[in-house]
Amino acid sequence: MDYGMDYDPNRSFFDQLAELRKRVPRIALLQHKNENSEYTNCVTNLKDCYLLFSSDFNQNCMYGVWTMHSKDSLDNLLLISGQLTYETVFCEQMHNTSFAYFSKQCSDSAFLMDCRNLTNCFRCFGLRNKEYCIANKQYSKEEYFEKLKEFPMSSYSNLEKAKAHFFQMIEKATYPDMRKRGTVIDSTGNFLTDCVNCVDSYEVTDARDCKYVMGGYQIKDAMDCNYVNQEKGYENCECFPMPIHSIGCVNSYEGADQFYTDNCMNNCTDIFGGISLKPTILAKCKTTLLGKCWPVPNADGITKSFSKNSHFIANKIYRFLANAMNVEFWRATNGASIARCLSENAWNVKKRSKRLLPPTDPKK
């Protein structure tokens, strides 16, 4: 709390938050439960990995973004459950496969586009449940390996020729208008996996009732978020998992009821405008505003929990929001959850017109 600021109601809240951001030191790398994987960022549960970003649960992997549950793989983007893979994009359950794009459950293959369940295939696109194919032509096992000798890739020049031939071959191929895996219902966007009712979302897996999300895994009721996990968040970035009921958070993991926080880790709760806070700091503080404690006393002078006295704090927070964003919010009633009030207003602010009542000071 050494960097905390007193809120000035005569100035923009976001200007004051920007000043607080400049004052508070932040950690350089976001890592959790890693082993011998120092040169990585925004990652968890890595072992012997190098230059991975926004990736989790990998071993012996290098140069990847959004690589999950993979092993011994290099140069991958949006890879889930890969082993011995190289240069794949939006692939899942791949083994010993290189240069594969938008494919799933393939092994011992190279140069694939939009393929499913292939084994021992080379330069193919749009195939399902095949083996021993070259350029979409079926061969016997013996013919396949004999034909494969015509495409040596023992040198860089030969590899570049193979790439050129493959991309030339698929130029006139028919592609689906949306890259998707699993069950995708009532959703728009691209690179979607098992999504229901998601609008204009991209690189999203296992999502429901989301809108304008770029990068999400197992998310629900999220809007305008980037690389998040968990539910009930608005305009959060790189929060994995993001705090439940949160708005405007950056690199804040777990917890709940956080609004405009940065690097608040490991189950912090009831924070409005906090930077680099930890639960140990908040042990005697029911809520924080601009990094300072705001205990809420009752009529007898005894501190109660934040959720039981949300009327006073909620009205203060709503006043800050109204000044900063020029929007109107419902009044929080005594005993209501501040998180529920804020999250409901974030989704429905355009539909409501009741004005905020003046804040009530419990001391009066």
Residue ranges in the chain whose pLDDT is less than 50: 280-286, 294-364
Residue with tokens 């709940």: 256
- Extract the tokens encoding 30: 């976001």
pLDDT value, residue 317: 47
Residues 80, 105, 228: CA angle, nearest 5 degrees: 20
Distances (CA, A) of 360 to 299, 303, 310, 335: 13, 17, 11, 14
- Extract the tokens encoding 308: 């039981």
* Number of domains forming the structure of the chain: 3
Domain that holds residue 184: 178-295
Last residue of one domain, picked from the residues 169, 197, 225: 169
Domain assignment present for residue 359? The answer is: no
Let me know whether 215 and 248 are in one domain: yes
Q: b/e for 238-247, b at 16 or more Cβ within 10 A?
A: bbbbbbbbbb
* Helix (H/G/I), strand (E/B), else coil: 154: coil
Domain assignment present for residue 2? The answer is: no
The values of phi and psi at residue 163, to 5°, are -60, -45
235 neighbors 247 (Cβ within 8 angstroms): yes
Let me know whether 290 and 309 are in one domain: no
Let me know whether 231 and 189 are in one domain: yes
Sequence-separated (6 or more) residues with CB below 8 Å from residue 330? 341, 344, 345, 352, 354, 356
- Closest to 233 (Cα-Cα) out of 206, 257, 267, 199: 257
- Extract the tokens encoding 20: 């607080």
Let me know whether 130 and 158 are in one domain: yes
**pLDDT tens-digit map of 1-59:** 667 778 788 888 888 888 888 888 888 888 888 999 999 998 889 999 999 998 999 99
**pLDDT tens-digit map of 51-89:** 999 899 999 999 999 899 999 999 999 999 999 999 999
Let me know whether 287 and 200 are in one domain: yes
Last residue of one domain, picked from the residues 169, 202, 232: 169
pTM score: 0.68
Domain assignment present for residue 345? The answer is: yes
